[in-house]
Structure 1
Amino acid sequence: MGARRRCLPEQHIRGAVEGDGVQPAKDDIFCLFDGVLDNLGSLSQQDGLCEGANEVLLMIEAYKMLRDRAPYPASFMLSQFSGSYAFVLFDKSTSSLLVACDPEGKVSLF
């Protein structure tokens, strides 16, 4: 396995909406995430994400792989996540919306 990249400041994405109104986004994909992924470290390493990547960045990158590289349903992406979470992801380029929570519904969507 190769070394994981370190996040540069311009690559860092905050998981919460900031006071100045900046939304967590990358490549016209916006994601609001609440909760925790228990397997964040292993998924980040598996997907080649930078060291210190957070849940928002992982969700966006997982969605992009699903959208761009494979004809899999969203349930395939969601089956990879372990933890208590809920998220809303909007892809501006395709006007697609993905809303999901963990299978047990530990984190409410509303």
Structure 2
Amino acid sequence: MEWVRWRRRLPATVGIIRVELVCAPSAWSAMLTRCVRRFGTVHFSDAQQLAGGGLVRVELSGLALVELLDVSARSARWWSGEDPSGRALCRVVYRAAAAVVDELDAAPAGDAVLPPITVAEAVWP
């Protein structure tokens, strides 16, 4: 069932112009490392901006978001070889990004400009 949803998400994800990912620097570094390892090259600009509160803001294109979703979905599986904390991180990233893509896909088509989107944000006490 998840595979069917993933196939429906692809066209919506590729069509996204820009997404802003807001997360802890260590979470972004861990996901960036996984994406580079998976694809060899990665379509992310490594331009991180401070978002306040110890978080970073990273701008992603639709293609970069597809790669992030693919890597996080595959790495979240029990057979992926990831340790439990890595699987948990990948699950959180995938669910947050998929929820945004599903929301955009359900929105009516039009020429409206979408505001920047926060995909994932985690603040630890």
Greater relative CO (CA pairs within 8 A, separation 6+): 2
Q: TM-score, normalised by structure 1?
A: 0.33
Q: TM-score, normalised by structure 2?
A: 0.30
Larger radius of gyration: 2
Greater share of strand: 1
